[in-house]
């Protein structure tokens, strides 16, 4: 494909177009040299230069069609010419495509603009063009949904979020954002949909003992999960990288605590006993969900989204496409990603069907925290301890089941029930009915 080289007449037409659109406040000159301010050591000539208050403001290069292919691959080859002479903006115009590629000082990439938006960006001195109306924005963002996601209900639930009042446009940065509660609704819509009033959690027999002895709900930080990619899976999928050793990420992970549960249909389930209940020697704790205390401020509660395969996670692909979307300099930004990224996991763990309680501990929190050396993974980890009587905790213990392979099962059940009478952890009508035996009898 041949390169289209503009002649003087082409550049004169573009000069006239800019001059008429910008008005008298700006001067548009052809074949003008611009010098860097550092002792005029660097000089570059541009096809057009836009002056504001007699100061070079925008450099414009009129290029052929073929070179536009490379501007996204090697943007530094193109913006360096503007950067060297300290221009505020630089524009490459590809005539046959009628596309304007705008570079802004301090940036390392170009954004594609139409002519009206490029004029608006120059006049407003902001790197964005005209705003999209909310309906147009909805079409653009929902257009990022992978073709394999054809759920009408999901599409409708997302579409309902795009109304005036839910969207924030930041003219100074070019960011489009949801309001905080709307962003939470966006991420929840991408997770499995279910009404949950009761959940269960499989754990070791020793953890049941510690629960009764200490009278605390114990939430472990993200750092000692059995999935070694737990803290970085979603970030890696989007291309953010794991940032595993940065202080900020380590701090965030040690202030993010989870209680891994599953739906009530998994209560006393043999597969769950084998995988998560100490090979059927542990316990299954049963909780009632108190929805009124799931505030999406400190506590977040939702089912986990698992990938469809090792190389496929449709919901994360959708989020990634949104973050790569740009229109007239506008781009979408998620402010709550640092929270909701913890509700996406590898397909390798899909059998667990986790429903997760996530607690984000603030610096002002008075909830007790302690450190342990995790016995399963040999990782130093912090724990958050919520007193059983803490009325704001969104899960309420209702009962416990002792695994079918528990040593001295009958004696342990009696002892734990008596202990519960003293400690008042589980509710009971009869002293020996709060903690019971598994109904599975044929597993050894």
* Domain-located, residue 25: yes
Q: What's phi and psi for 121, nearest 5 deg?
A: -60, -40
Q: How far apart are CA 229 and CA 14, in angstroms?
A: 53
Cα end-to-end span (Å), the chain: 72
Helix, strand, coil in percent for the chain, rounding step 5: 35, 30, 40
180 and 279 part of one domain: no
Tell me what the pLDDT averaged over the chain comes to. Answer: 89
Q: Using 50, 70 and 90 to split pLDDT, how confident is the model at 394?
A: very high
Residue 1 has pLDDT above 50, yes or no: no
Tell me whether residue 150 is in a domain. Answer: yes
Among the residue ranges 117-126, 226-235, 252-261, the one predicted with the least confidence is: 226-235
Helix (H), strand (E) at residue 274: helix 270-276
> Do 174 and 269 reside in the same domain of the chain?
no
Q: Give the tens place of pLDDT for each residue, 175-192.
A: 999 999 999 999 999 999
- 359 and 329 share one domain: no
Domain extent at residue 155: 131-194+311-334
Same domain, 364 and 252: yes
**Residues of the chain with pLDDT > 90: what percent?**
59
Q: Which of 327, 329, 326, 325 is nearest to 126 (CA)?
A: 329
Mean pLDDT of 56-77: 81
Q: Are residues 223 and 174 in the same domain?
A: no
In a domain, 234, yes or no: yes
CATH of the domain at 37: 3.90.1570.10
Please check whether residues 293 and 405 belong to one and the same domain: yes
Task: Tell me: do 277 and 401 sit in the same domain.
Answer: yes
* 253 shares its domain with 379: yes
Whether 63 has a pLDDT exceeding 90, the answer reads no
Q: Are residues 187 and 200 in the same domain?
A: no
Residue 218 falls inside a structural domain: yes
In a domain, 266, yes or no: yes
Same domain flag for 170 and 118: no
Asked if the structure places residue 226 within a domain, the reply is yes
Q: Would 228 be classed as within a structural domain? A: yes
Of residues 231 and 375, more confidence is placed in 231
Domain count, the chain: 3
The predicted structure's pLDDT at residue 201: 97
CB 359 within 8 A of CB 219: yes
**Averaged pLDDT, 139-162:** 91
| Best CA proximity match to 283, nearest among 402, 409, 438 | 402
Give the residue from 74, 104, 124 where a domain finishes. 124
| Boundary-marking domain end, from 98, 124, 150 | 124
Q: Please indicate, yes or no, whether residues 47 and 80 belong to a single structural domain of this protein.
A: yes
Residues 297 and 410 in one domain: yes
Per-residue model confidence as pLDDT tens digits over 2-38: 455 678 898 999 999 999 999 988 999 999 899 876 5
pLDDT mean over 105-132 = 82
Residue where a domain terminates, one of 103, 124, 145: 124
Four-CA torsion 434, 440, 442, 444, nearest 10 degrees: -60
pLDDT of residue 2: 44
The helix/strand count (H/E) of the chain reads as 14, 22
DSSP string, 42-92: -EEEEEEEEEETTEEEEEEEEE-GGGHHHHTT-THHHHHHHHTTT-SEEEE
Q: For residue 442, is it within any domain?
A: no
Calculate mean pLDDT across residues 429-444.
89
Instruction: Name residues whose C-beta falls within 8 Å of residue 83's C-beta, 6 or more positions apart in sequence.
Output: 90, 105
């Amino acid at each position: 494909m041949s390169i289209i080289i503009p002649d003087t007449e082409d550049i004169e037409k573009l000069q006239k177009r800019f001059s008429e659109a910008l008005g008298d406040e700006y001067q548009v000159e052809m074949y003008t040299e611009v010098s860097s301010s550092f002792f005029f050591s660097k000089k570059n000539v541009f096809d057009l230069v836009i002056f504001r208050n007699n100061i070079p403001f925008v450099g414009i290069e009129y290029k052929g069609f073929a070179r536009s292919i490379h501007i996204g691959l090697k943007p530094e080859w193109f913006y360096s010419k503007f950067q060297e002479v300290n221009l505020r903006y630089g524009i490459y115009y590809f005539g046959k495509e009628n596309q304007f590629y705008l570079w802004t000082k301090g940036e390392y990439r170009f954004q594609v603009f139409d002519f009206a938006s490029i004029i608006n960006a120059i006049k407003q001195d902001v790197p964005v063009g005209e705003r999209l109306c909310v309906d147009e924005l909805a079409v653009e963002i929902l257009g990022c949904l992978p073709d394999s996601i054809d759920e009408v209900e999901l599409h409708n639930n997302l579409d309902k979020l795009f109304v005036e009042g839910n969207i924030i446009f930041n003219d100074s940065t070019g960011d489009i954002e949801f309001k905080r509660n709307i962003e939470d609704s966006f991420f929840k819509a991408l997770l499995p949909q279910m009404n949950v009033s009761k959940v269960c959690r499989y754990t070791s027999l020793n953890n049941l003992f510690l629960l009764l002895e200490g009278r605390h709900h114990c939430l472990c930080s993200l750092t000692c999960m059995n999935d070694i990619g737990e803290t970085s899976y979603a970030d890696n999928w989007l291309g953010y990288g794991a940032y595993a050793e940065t202080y900020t990420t380590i701090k965030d992970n040690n202030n993010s605590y989870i209680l891994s549960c599953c739906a009530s249909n998994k209560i006393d389930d043999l597969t769950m006993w084998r995988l998560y209940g100490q090979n059927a020697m542990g316990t299954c704790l049963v909780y009632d969900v108190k929805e009124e205390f799931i505030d999406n401020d400190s506590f977040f509660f939702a089912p986990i989204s698992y990938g469809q395969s090792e190389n496929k996670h449709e919901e994360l692909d959708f989020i990634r496409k949104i973050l790569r979307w740009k229109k007239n300099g506008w781009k979408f930004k998620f402010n709550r990603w640092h929270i909701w990224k913890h509700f996406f996991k590898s397909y390798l763990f899909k059998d667990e069907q986790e429903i997760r309680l996530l607690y984000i501990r603030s610096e002002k929190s008075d909830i007790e925290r302690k450190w342990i050396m995790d016995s399963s993974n040999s990782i130093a980890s912090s724990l958050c301890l919520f007193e059983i009587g803490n009325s704001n905790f969104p899960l309420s213990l209702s009962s416990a089941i002792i695994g079918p392979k528990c040593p001295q099962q009958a004696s342990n059940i009696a002892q734990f029930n008596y202990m519960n009478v003293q400690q008042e952890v589980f509710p009971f009508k009869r002293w020996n009915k709060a903690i019971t035996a598994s109904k599975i009898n044929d597993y050894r």
